[in-house]
Amino acid sequence: MNEKKTQIQKGIAQLRTHFLVMCATVGIAVDEACVALTTGNMGRASAVVDGDAAVDALENEIDEMALSLLARYQPVAYDLRFIVATLRMVGDLERIGDEAVSIAERAIVLHELLPEPVLSAVGRLMGTATVNYKKAVEAFRSADIEQALDICRSEDETMQMEVTALHRIMDCFCSDGGRGGGQSYIGMHGILICRSLTRICRRLSNIAEQTYFIAEGVNIKHVSFV
């Protein structure tokens, strides 16, 4: 029994390490996509797109590790919660990586700095996404359930930021009376960027919920934080 427990703990430690490597990889992609968007750096945007294959490979590797642990050791209690939550979170991480690619692709398609109205509109969302990403990873790393709850509580505020950003973009570029004139395509890309940033924030809430589940054994997925 002791040997089995030791093997489970060793496997979970390896799983945790691989998951944190994926967290770092995806975090870099999110940061670089936002930098590319705000600076017009096409090289950095292309690197994010090219790096997506590495994120997918990490997801597959972590899936295989987690399923192997379940099949070989039939873990219970905390060990089981950790493995199950990791399987859930790795999917969210992969989707965050996809949204980073989507943002980078918008920068490549536009091939120019976004106009100030769009940058201003999406700026708060970008800031929230990048800051909450770091908070979510740190909450997982340190099992900080209070920080995890803070991320969950911020979801309504993020939705309000998105609504505000979308209104500003529509007013500037997508309405007959807007200042954008024939630049509606910029508005369209601005809307897509807003959607990607909001999806990143929602995925981070999922990761925060799983962090809480690992630590406390309680599912807070459908709990209201108002």
Domain boundaries, the chain: 2-216
Distance CA 169, CA 15 (A): 42
pTM as predicted: 0.92
- Longest Cα pair distance anywhere in the chain, in angstroms? 73
Position 178 scores a pLDDT of 47
Position 44 scores a pLDDT of 94
Cβ distance 107 to 45 under 8 Å?
Answer: yes
Position 120 scores a pLDDT of 80
Tokens linked to 15: 């799983």
Position 226 scores a pLDDT of 47
Position 1 scores a pLDDT of 55
Position 223 scores a pLDDT of 78
Mean pLDDT (10-residue bins), the chain, 226 residues: 83 97 98 92 94 97 97 93 97 98 91 72 91 98 97 93 89 61 74 95 97 95 70
Architecture category of domain 2-216 in CATH: Up-down Bundle (1.20)
DSSP collapsed to 3 states, the chain: CHHHHHHHHHHHHHHHHHHHHHHHHHHHHHHHHHHHHHHCCHHHHHHHHHCHHHHHHHHHHHHHHHHHHHHHHCCCHHHHHHHHHHHHHHHHHHHHHHHHHHHHHHHHHHCCCCCHHHHHHHHHHHHHHHHHHHHHHHHHHHCCHHHHHHHHHCHHHHHHHHHHHHHHHHHHHHCCCCCCCCCHHHHHHHHHHHHHHHHHHHHHHHHHHHHHHHHHCCCCCCCCCC
